[in-house]
C-alpha cells in the first residue's frame, strides 16, 4: 500500500511518537534480527532444526514432528536458540495487535455504529464513534443507559479510504481489535506518504535504541513515523528526499537478515545524496 495526500491540515511531527517510545521500555520492540542468539541460517517450512529433543523444545514458529523425534520449522525465517527453546524469526507475517500500539489504519467500510479498518492484521480493527470524540468535549449519560453527545462536541466523521493514526484499545482472540483516534498525534492524516513493509522487518527500521530511525531521519531530513503494523508515514521537504527515504527503507526490508546493516545504510544514503545532488 502506498498513499499520498495533500497537506490540508497543520503538519504534526509524528516522528516525535517514535522518539517518545524509545524511552518507554514497555513499548520498545526488540530487534531480534540483531539478537546474538539469532543465527544467519535461513530455514524453510518443514526443515529439521534439531533431533536433540531431550535438550531442546519447540518455541515460536516451530513444532515437534509426528513422533516427537525432531523439531521442525513452520515458517520461512531465521533460526534462533534461546535457552532450551528453538524459535524461527519469520521474515514475513501479519501484525498481531497489542493494546497501546499506535498504528496506521485504512478505513475500508463504515455504518452508523462503527468503522471497519484494515490494520494489516488477520482481523479488521473496529473504530466506534464514541472513540473518535474530540479532546475537550463532554460526554453525558441519560437515564436508561442511552448515551447522547452534548452539543459542544461531536464524533469525528471519516470516509472510506481515509488513513488514520490510531491506538489499539483492546485486542484478544475472541473479538476484533478495538481502536481509538482520541489522543496526541491520533486522527486522520491528510499529508505525507504512507508505505507498507513486512511487519517482522519493522524492528530493523527502528534499530537498537532507535539507531536506524535516527540515521534515516537525520540524513534525509524527512519526518518519519514507524508503526508496529508495518506501515510507515513519511513527509519530507520535497519528493526527491522522500523518494530517497523510501528506497532506503526498501533496502532495509530486503537486507533485514544481514549483519552490519546500520553502518551500511548510513554509507548508502550518503553516497546516494552525492549522486543525486541532495543536501
> Residue 118 maps to which CATH number?
2.40.50.140
Q: Of 188, 221, 238, which marks where a domain is finished?
A: 188
Q: Give the domain-ending residue among 47, 72, 90.
A: 90
Confidence of residue 143 (pLDDT cuts 50, 70, 90): very low
**What does the block give as the cell for 230?**
508495518
For residue 6, the model assigns a pLDDT of: 42
Dihedral of CA 213/251/237/263: which sign? positive
84 and 41 assigned to the same domain: yes
| pLDDT exceeds 50 at position 10 | no
pLDDT (average), residues 212-236? 95
Rounded to the nearest 10°, the torsion over CA 77, 81, 86, 91 is: -10
Q: C-alpha grid cell for residue 88?
A: 524461527
Whether 215 maps to a domain, the answer reads yes
Which set of grid coordinates corresponds to residue 235?
513527509
pLDDT in tens, 106-133: 999 999 999 999 999 999 999 999 999 8
Q: What CATH number should be reported for the domain holding residue 205?
A: 3.30.1370.10
Average pLDDT of the segment spanning 19-26? 56
Look at residue 1 and tell me if it is in a domain.
Answer: no
Side-chain half-sphere exposure of 271, counting CA atoms within 13 A: 7
Cβ–Cβ < 8 Å for 110, 124: no
At residue 153, the pLDDT reads 62
User: Residue 53 and residue 243: Cα distance in Å, rounded?
Assistant: 49
Indicate the pLDDT class of residue 232, thresholds 50, 70 and 90.
very high
C-beta separation of 54 from 79 below 8 A: no
Q: Which of 90, 107, 137 is the last residue of a domain?
A: 90
What Cα–Cα distance (Å) separates residue 31 from each residue in 28, 161, 170, 259? 9, 32, 24, 12
Q: Looking at the structure, tell me whether residues 65 and 107 fall in a common domain.
A: no
- Indicate if 159 and 213 belong to the same structural domain: no
- Do 78 and 104 lie in a common domain? no
Measured CA distances, 186 to 69, 94, 160, 221, 226 (Å): 50, 22, 17, 23, 14
- CA max distance for the chain: 69
Q: Average pLDDT, whole number, for the chain?
A: 84
Contact indicator for 103, 196 with CB cutoff of 8 Å = no
Are 198 and 253 in contact, with CB atoms under 8 Å apart?
A: yes
Segments forming the whole domain that contains residue 211: 192-276
Q: Which helix (H) or strand (E) holds 214?
A: helix 211-220
pLDDT tens-digit readout, 190-200:
999 999 999 98
pLDDT at position 7 is: 44
* Mean pLDDT value of segment 53-81: 92
The pLDDT, as a whole number, for residue 73 is 95
Q: How many domains does the chain have?
A: 3
- When pLDDT is averaged across residues 172-180 and rounded to a whole number, the result is 92
Pick the residue with more confidence: 16 or 266?
266
How much is the CA Rg of the chain, to the nearest whole Å? Answer: 21
Work out the angle at residue 253's Cα, subtended by the Cα atoms of residues 252 and 254, and round it to the nearest 5 degrees: 90
CATH number at residue 66: 2.40.50.100
Residue 20 located in a structural domain: no
Pair 208, 268 in one domain: yes
Amino acid at each position: 500500500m502506498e498513499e499520498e495526500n495533500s497537506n490540508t491540515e497543520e503538519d504534526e511531527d509524528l516522528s516525535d511518537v517514535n522518539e517518545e517510545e524509545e524511552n518507554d521500555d514497555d513499548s520498545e520492540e526488540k530487534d531480534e534480527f540483531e539478537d546474538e542468539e539469532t543465527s544467519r541460517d535461513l530455514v524453510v517450512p518443514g526443515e529439521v532444526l534439531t533431533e536433540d529433543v531431550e535438550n531442546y523444545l519447540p518455541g515460536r514458529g516451530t513444532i515437534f514432528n509426528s513422533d516427537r523425534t525432531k523439531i521442525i520449522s513452520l515458517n520461512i525465517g531465521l533460526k534462533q536458540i534461546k535457552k532450551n527453546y528453538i524459535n524461527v524469526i519469520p521474515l514475513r507475517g501479519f501484525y498481531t495487535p497489542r493494546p497501546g500500539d499506535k498504528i496506521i489504519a485504512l478505513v475500508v467500510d463504515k455504518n452508523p455504529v462503527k468503522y471497519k479498518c484494515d490494520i494489516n492484521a488477520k482481523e479488521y480493527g473496529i473504530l466506534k464513534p464514541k472513540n473518535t470524540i474530540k479532546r475537550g468535549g463532554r460526554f453525558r449519560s441519560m437515564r436508561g443507559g442511552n448515551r447522547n453527545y452534548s452539543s459542544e462536541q461531536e464524533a469525528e466523521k471519516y470516509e472510506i479510504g481515509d488513513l488514520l493514526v490510531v491506538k489499539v484499545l483492546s485486542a484478544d482472540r475472541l473479538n476484533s481489535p478495538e481502536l481509538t483516534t482520541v489522543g496526541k498525534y491520533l486522527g486522520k492524516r491528510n499529508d505525507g506518504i504512507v508505505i507498507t513493509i513486512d511487519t517482522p522487518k519493522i524492528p530493523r527500521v527502528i534499530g537498537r535504541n532507535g539507531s536506524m530511525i535516527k540515521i534515516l531521519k537525520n540524513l534525509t531530513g524527512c519526518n518519519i513515523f514507524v508503526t508496529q503494523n508495518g506501515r510507515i508515514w513519511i513527509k519530507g521537504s520535497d519528493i526527491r528526499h522522500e523518494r530517497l527515504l523510501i528506497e532506503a527503507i526498501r533496502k532495509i526490508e530486503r537486507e533485514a537478515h544481514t549483519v552490519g546493516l546500520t553502518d551500511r545504510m548510513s554509507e548508502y544514503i550518503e553516497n546516494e545524496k552525492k549522486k543525486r545532488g541532495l543536501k
